[in-house]
């Protein structure tokens, strides 16, 4: 039996208050947009499913999960446990179930998303695509503040779930918070930056068309009737995700506009498609199948509309998916209650026309919201038919996991209501990148070229807004030097047979470049060439590295700033002559590791696995040990890992050399195998004016007797260590700054 965490929060009804907004709903929502856990659901257009604007913010509970690893957070608790995500969802919905008599769609509940990849918890499916985003599969927040506006009347209601947390009533605090935020002046729109020439796809056009041919072969073989095939686009993004959301809403106000501030990523969705709506026992789903682009003029527009309405192919696709959904919701509905109330309704949007059907039913006694989700998820309109085989083929042919794309976004209330959209026309923003997918239903007589073009039409809304982003942006392509040529970074490729890929058989040097001047370049090249002679062959490359570095710096427009340049070499493939090693030089802006930190030093954590390898004498790409050590330190809330030798003496950190200063002695740890540090040598040479340099065995306890512990590498210069394994160390103010003023 699963033991769910005890949450020290009780929920006792909902406080409601009618309010009058002093600005538009979206401007009101913008005041809360930066709060982690904020969800904004806007209804655009005038269709009959576009009735409410909803803001949910200041979560008192968050639930995230990846596979079965669940994380539950409240103001006072942070709990990890193992459980099925759907059972976890059911547990919390039952734990906080409320009996409310309300005209509003939701007064308390969970807001967020269910990723498409949750399918793997419902069916036993092969997993052959890559999860490169590594984002939660379930991400839901229970807001302490919900603001709802009825579009037609603009009547706005504030809902605050009345809670007791740690024996304290939270309503006064929530009311004060809401009033404080509402009194804020409208934020200055920071804008956003993107440019569509930067867009890349996880498919080439030929590969996408070949995948369509493969689906048609499966159809001909009787595996499947239809598969929804998609490609994922990616581009650089900076600025405000909510600003992008606003711009999209203004240009294309679809029925299910969603924004989620998830902290480490943001979701922006412009979906036209309802997945599931529940009101008590009444159930509705609205599948979409059939798409045509809007015309360039009135005559062409009418022609496209007529073409879609009369399309036998699109009619057949929609009818097939309607039957699938009737079957899905029929699993949890009262027998005989499932019906198609409207079929093949043509709806017009900013860039496309769609065919839509409405399927209704009545939830059977004893069944609940989660039962309904499990019976229908993911939506049949974006998988194919039959659903399980379609999902297997999608996983086979699409290289990346879909994550949010074709999952669901919306709310599941604590009082038996729910409204979830299908996450199409949806972008994820993470770590300076924006990804979004577009696809279409493939049947036997699909035209592969037209299907490819349809994915471009569906992505047009987002791309057009990014093209005319609110702040001017010039597309930036990163360049590298590879084997004698300056090429775009995205075009730099290494064979999977390269021993550098297979075994880490390669070398690298990382060089700080200050306004086009490489620091200590000759020392770096001496170390690089020594490693080349020892590991690869007696003859290092005959190249003018300084000129190559200048070309790369110039190509990346980094001449007037501090940059990081990396020289890399890999062995190549075993069946090629040694002269065909791969050589690369890359460059990027340098941001000092202490930039933005309050503490001007680093925290060391001892890595429990000692290191002893002759490879440590050279800077090779066989770097996994150090990478894992660094990750270990971060997991323990540290900055760097302290590396020990097998005899428990200190060696180095995962990125730097170490110097211990005590009185007039500067001690350098002695190791049998250790990378000779270029910056460590420079720093020691500088310190000879006031200190005696000693190379000797150093132990962890020596750190606590030192006046100052310093780490050094070619990028950071000298940086003080302020703790080891969470124990404070002594520090000599100004010593590292004095060193850096001289050596950097």
Domains in the chain, CATH or no CATH each: 9-467 (3.60.120.10), 479-589 (3.30.470.10), 602-743 (3.20.10.10)
Phi–psi pair at 376, nearest 5 degrees: -120, -15
Residue-level pLDDT at 1: 66
58, 73, 289, 387: the active-site residue:
289
The residue to which tokens 């056009």 are assigned: 205
> CA-to-CA distance for 287 and 555, rounded, in angstroms?
49
DSSP letter for each residue of 116-153: GGGGGGTS-----SB--S---SEEEEEEEEEEEEETTT
In the numeric block, which tokens belong to residue 670?
């002695």
273 annotated active-site: yes
pLDDT of residue 415: 96
Maximum mean pLDDT: which of 129-138, 256-265, 285-294, 474-483: 256-265
For the record, the structure tokens of 535 come out as 């590991």
Rounded Cα distance between 535 and 532, Å, is 5
Determine whether 387 is an active site residue: no
Alpha carbon distance, N-terminus to C-terminus of the chain: 60
Per-residue CA distances from 521 to 268, 528, 535 (Å): 45, 10, 21
- As a whole number of angstroms, the distance between CA 490 and CA 501 comes to 17
pLDDT tens-digit readout, 59-87:
999 999 999 999 999 998 999 999 999 99
* Residue 57: strand, helix, or coil: strand
Q: At what angle do helices 387-397 and 205-220 cross, to 10 degrees?
A: 150
What is the per-residue pLDDT across 302-319, written as a single tens digit (0 to 9) for each?
898 888 888 888 888 889
| Cα separations in angstroms, 337 against 197, 284, 329, 362 | 50, 11, 10, 6
- Rounded Cα distance between 460 and 593, Å, is 39
Average pLDDT over residues 614-634: 89
pLDDT in tens, 407-434: 999 999 999 999 999 999 999 999 889 9
Provide, rounded to the nearest whole percent, the portion of the chain with pLDDT above 90: 68
Q: Which residues neighbour 683 within 8 Å (Cβ) at sequence distance 6 or greater? A: 659, 710, 712, 717, 718, 739, 743
Is 90 exceeded by the pLDDT of residue 381? no
Length of the chain: 744
What span, in angstroms and rounded, lies between the C-alpha atoms of 477 and 240? 21
3-state secondary structure of 193: strand
pTM, full prediction = 0.74
Structure-block tokens of residue 509 = 């040097």
Q: How much is the CA Rg of the chain, to the nearest whole Å?
A: 30
On average, the pLDDT of the chain sits at: 91
Paired sense of beta strands 274-279 and 282-285, if any? antiparallel
Selecting among 30, 273, 416, 652, the annotated active-site residue is 273
Residue 575 pLDDT > 90, yes or no? no
DSSP 198-263: G-EESS-HHHHHHHHHHHHHHHHTTS-SEEEEEEEEEEE-EE-HHHHHHHHHHH---SEEEEEE-S
Tens of pLDDT, residue by residue over 648-692, are 999 999 999 999 999 999 999 999 888 899 999 999 999 999 999
- Of the pLDDT bands very low, low, confident and very high (cuts 50, 70, 90), residue 177 is very high
Does the pLDDT at position 470 exceed 60?
Answer: no
pLDDT at 495: 87
CA pair distance 516, 558, nearest whole angstrom? 8
Nearest of 199, 213, 211, 277 to residue 43 by alpha carbon = 277
Could you give the CA distance from residue 533 to residue 523 in angstroms, rounded to a whole number?
15
Confidence of residue 211 (pLDDT cuts 50, 70, 90): very high
Angstrom CA distances, 231 to 137, 341, 445, 456, stand at: 20, 33, 20, 10
């Amino acid at each position: 039996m699963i033991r769910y965490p005890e949450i020290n929060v009780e929920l006792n009804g909902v406080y409601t208050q009618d309010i009058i907004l002093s600005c538009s709903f979206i401007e009101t929502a913008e005041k809360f947009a930066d709060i982690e856990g904020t969800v904004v659901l806007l209804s655009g257009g005038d269709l009959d499913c576009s009735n409410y604007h909803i803001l949910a913010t200041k979560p008192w509970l968050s639930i995230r999960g990846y596979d079965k690893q669940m994380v539950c957070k409240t103001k006072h608790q942070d709990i990890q446990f193992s459980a099925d995500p759907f059972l976890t969802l059911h547990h919390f919905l039952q734990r906080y179930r409320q009996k409310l008599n309300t005209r509003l769609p939701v007064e308390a509940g969970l807001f967020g998303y269910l990723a498409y990849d949750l399918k793997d918890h419902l069916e036993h499916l092969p997993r052959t695509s890559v999860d490169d985003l590594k984002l939660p599969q379930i991400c839901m927040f229970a807001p302490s503040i919900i603001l709802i506006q009825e579009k037609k009347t603009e009547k706005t209601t504030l809902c605050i779930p009345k809670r007791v947390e740690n024996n304290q009533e939270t309503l006064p605090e929530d009311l004060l918070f809401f009033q404080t935020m509402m009194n804020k002046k409208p934020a200055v729109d920071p804008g956003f930056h993107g440019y569509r020439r930067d867009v890349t796809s996880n498919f080439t056009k030929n590969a996408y068309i070949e995948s369509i041919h493969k689906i048609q072969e499966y159809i001909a073989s009787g595996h499947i009737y239809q598969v929804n095939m998609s490609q994922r686009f990616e581009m650089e993004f900076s600025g405000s995700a909510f600003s992008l959301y606003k711009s999209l809403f203004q240009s294309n106000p679809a029925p299910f506009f969603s924004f989620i501030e998830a902290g480490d990523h943001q979701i922006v969705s412009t979906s036209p498609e309802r997945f599931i709506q529940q009101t008590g026992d009444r159930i509705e789903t609205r599948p979409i199948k059939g798409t045509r682009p809007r015309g360039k003029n009135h005559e062409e527009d009418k022609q496209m509309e007529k073409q879609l309405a009369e399309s036998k192919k699109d009619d057949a696709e929609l009818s097939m998916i309607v039957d699938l959904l009737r079957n899905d919701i029929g699993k949890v509905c009262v027998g005989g209650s499932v019906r198609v109330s409207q079929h093949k309704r043509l709806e017009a949007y900013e860039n496309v026309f769609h065919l839509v059907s409405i399927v209704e039913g009545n939830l059977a006694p004893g069944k609940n919201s989660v039962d309904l989700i499990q019976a229908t998820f993911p939506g049949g309109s974006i998988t194919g038919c039959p659903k399980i085989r379609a999902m297997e083929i999608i996983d086979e042919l699409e290289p990346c996991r879909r994550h949010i794309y074709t999952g669901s976004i919306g709310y599941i209330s604590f009082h038996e209501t729910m409204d979830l959209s299908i996450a199409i026309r949806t972008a994820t923003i993470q770590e300076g990148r924006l990804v979004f997918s577009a696809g279409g239903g493939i049947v036997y007589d699909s035209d592969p070229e037209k299907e490819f073009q349809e994915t471009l039409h569906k992505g047009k809304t987002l791309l057009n807004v990014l093209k005319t982003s609110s702040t001017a942006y010039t597309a930036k392509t990163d360049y590298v030097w590879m084997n004698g040529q300056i090429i775009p970074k995205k075009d730099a490729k290494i064979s999977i047979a390269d021993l550098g890929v297979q075994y880490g058989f390669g070398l690298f040097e990382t060089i700080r470049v200050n306004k086009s001047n490489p620091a200590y370049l000759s020392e770096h090249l001496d170390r690089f060439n020594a490693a080349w002679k020892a590991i690869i062959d007696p003859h290092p490359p005959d190249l003018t590295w300084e000129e190559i570095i200048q070309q790369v710096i110039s190509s990346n427009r980094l001449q007037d700033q501090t940059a990081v340049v990396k020289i890399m070499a890999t062995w190549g493939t075993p069946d090629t002559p040694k002269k065909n090693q791969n050589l690369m030089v890359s460059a990027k802006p340098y941001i000092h590791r202490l930039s933005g930190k309050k503490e001007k030093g680093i925290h060391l954590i001892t890595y429990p696995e000692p290191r002893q390898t002759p490879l440590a004498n050279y800077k090779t790409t066989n770097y996994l040990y150090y990478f894992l050590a660094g990750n270990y330190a971060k997991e323990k809330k540290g900055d760097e890992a302290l590396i020990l030798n097998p005899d428990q003496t200190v060696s180095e950190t995962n990125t730097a050399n170490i110097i211990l200063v005590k009185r007039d002695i500067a001690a350098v740890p002695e190791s049998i195998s250790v990378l000779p540090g270029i910056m460590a040598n420079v720093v020691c040479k500088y310190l000879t004016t006031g200190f005696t340099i000693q190379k000797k065995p150093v132990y962890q306890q020596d750190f606590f007797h030192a006046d100052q512990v310093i780490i050094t590498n070619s990028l950071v210069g000298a940086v003080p260590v302020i703790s080891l394994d969470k124990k404070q160390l002594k520090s000599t103010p100004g010593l590292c700054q004095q060193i850096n003023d001289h050596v950097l």
